[in-house]
Amino acid sequence: MKKYFQFIALIPMFISCVKDKPQDVLQPVIQLTAAKKVYVINEGNFGSGNASVSIFDTGNTSVIENFYQTQNAGSPLVGDVAQSLTNINSKFYLVVNNSGKIIVCDAQFKKVTQITNLSSPRYILPVTNQKAYVSDYNANAISVLDLNSNTKTASIPCSGWTEQMVLIYNKAFVTNMKRNYTYVINTVNDTKADSIHVGINAGSSVVDKNDKVWVLSSGDNANSVLGKLSRIDPVTNIVEATYQFPTNNSPNSLCLNKTKDTLYFLNGGVFKMAINSQALPATAFIANGTKNFYGLGINPNDFSIYVADALDYVQRSTIYIFDANGNQKSYFKAGINANGFYFE
């Protein structure tokens, strides 16, 4: 049976042609369809407590800019700096970095509990149905969560700013922004088992269709350290291939397409690279022009590409949707500093 939900909100108008600036149209009732939804994580401004989550309905292109507040009327706002959103065991885990908490919501995005006793959480990785790991900006450790009680139960020492994580073969590969290494955690006994040299400012990682782990390091422009992309064999923990960027820049936001055979990342524009390529792409697949691309996501339900333009970091972000060929299909407004996406 199809389910429909009604909400009161502002929605942006979608148009077939591209104009310089989208216009807001007041529409008293939004009816979400049974189609897949896209959740947009909006950081807000640091210290302002104006983080939010927007929701985009792929069925009728309607948008609710502050979906959490819509579903939790009378509750406190999300908090300060929404960093990431993950669905585990049919619950949403919204990591709020500077507020030191994770908000747990049900399938309708209604808050059921909150996880505290966290320093500065960044991302959450489900390890089993009962356990998850949380990376952290300044805890020098990975937090271990009990998903049944939604409480922190242990810590795994990992020095530096830990960031995104991927899971394969009972190993969690943990990127690190302040060290030259990606850590390998044994998920059976929750201990650090290895460190793999991938370069400074490694923040994003994926696992491709061949079960290879890819890690993207931004480098360090201030000290003339170039960024690089590394491919790791998760069985041996050995770096099989390294692709070094030719100039000082800041590649980030590594993603995979639906079939897990093509990498995407931001480096000003959107770059595209086959996993069997022998070299980094020389030119952008989608040029940014005057846009300030800040967040990237590839919809696993199709091959569409979602890119967030943070503009001046004060205005509400604009989300652009491109097809697999890089043609812009539409766009809509989200919250301030949209940094990423969760796709149903």
Of 162, 158, 157, 166, which is closest to residue 175 (Cα–Cα)? 162
The answer to whether the Cα torsion of 188, 190, 192, 198 is positive or negative is positive
pTM: 0.90
Residue recorded with tokens 């480098």: 219
Calculate the CA dihedral of residues 181, 182, 186, 189 and round it to 10 degrees: 70
CATH of the domain at 187: 2.130.10.10
| CA–CA separation, 134 and 164 (whole Å) | 9
Render pLDDT for 209-244 as a digit per residue (tens, 0 to 9).
Answer: 999 999 999 999 999 999 999 999 999 999 999 999
pLDDT for 19 beyond 80: no
Report pLDDT for 248.
Answer: 80
Residue 10 in this model has a pLDDT that exceeds 90: no
Q: Which range, of 15-29, 52-66, 89-103, 144-158, averages the lowest pLDDT?
A: 15-29
CA angle, 252 then 124 then 262, to 5°: 40
Q: Is the pLDDT of residue 63 over 60?
A: yes
Overall number of domains in the chain: 1
Range of the domain at 212: 5-343
